[in-house]
Chain A
Amino acid sequence: MTWMVRSLLLWALLVVGCKHAEPVVATPTPALAACDARQAEISKEADQLAQPWSIEQHLAKNFPDLKVSWLMPEGLYQKYVVQTAAKNFGRCDDTACYLFAAPSAVIQEAVNKSMTGGTHAPDVLGQALGLPAKNFEGPLRMMTLDLNASGTCARLPVDSDPGVWKCQTPEDKDCFKFGGYTSGGVPEVMVINAPVAQTTVTEIP
């Protein structure tokens, strides 16, 4: 009888032990899994430079719903997106199209805060996003993309990305500092090949 109890106990321990020994398979964030080999390599190098920070932590902390947004003046949107029938947003070269984007909730909150009497106040919007008011004069368009639903790649921006204007002094605004935050302290990511067809475009009068 004692032998049977011991055997049962041993069997139970083995089962529990085996369950604990099951390998944990880490599922990469879809936005990272969507990157091609070139962008995955750049992302890996950026993560090494940002240690102990990483794009995985950055997305989890600042982009929990994986929705990103960015702003363009109406005229710029018409000239560079509508009239060219662009397939992707951003600056395109022979490798990809590169676009800076912030958490949608942050941009939306800044826009809401700036709305007075049916139009936005450029100075309020600029202050909320830590950027010069002149960047927000006139009607704007706010673009929103769900990285997860669209299967779009995102990584930390790096110095060599098209459009990077490196800050020269700590006081510089509207320039690039490595680490995933704008010079105004807004979280940002580099979105690769953001598809126009899957982006929601909202008018901001």
Chain B
Amino acid sequence: MSQEQVLYQSPLLYRVLREEDGALSIEVVVGGIAMHTVRVRLTVQEAEAYAREGSAFTDRLAREIMAQPSFGGRAR
């Protein structure tokens, strides 16, 4: 059973998750007529920005990931 926890679910079609090992990640729905998801682990700086700004930060991050789903090779 997955211990993954959903911290925030956005109507912009992304979720902020705390993974089993405690790390934060963002799962973003990408694509057009056929959608799929990619997942990116947040860096320490990004996790701090999320703690500070909340969904304002993850909205920006999700839009960046939607615009470039490989996210510089960080997406899985």
Contacts and interface: CB of A to CB of B under 8 A. Distances in A.
Given A163-B66, A164-B66, A164-B67, A100 B11 contact: no
Interface residues of A, number: 35
Q: Residue among A69, A70, A80 with the most chain B CB within 10 A?
A: A80
A71 B11 CA distance: 18
A163 B30 contact: yes
Given A164-B67, A165-B67, A91 B13 contact: yes
Contacts, number: 80
B29 to A, nearest CB: 6
A162 B12 contact: yes
Contacts of B13: 80, 90-92, 163
A101 interface: yes
What does DSSP make chain A's interface, helix, strand, loop or mixed?
Answer: mixed
Interface stretch (B18-26, B32-40, B46-54): B32-40
B74 to A, nearest CB: 15
Given A80-B13, A92-B12, A166-B67, A136 B34 contact: yes
A4 B69 CA distance: 81
B12 A174 contact: no
A165 B12 CA distance: 15
Nearest to A83: B9
B64 to A, nearest CB: 11
Nearest to A90: B13
A46 interface: no
Interface of B: 9, 11-13, 15, 29-37, 63, 66-69
12 contacts: A69-B33, A70-B34, A73-B35, A90-B13, A91-B66, A92-B11, A100-B33, A135-B35, A162-B63, A165-B69, A166-B67, A182-B32
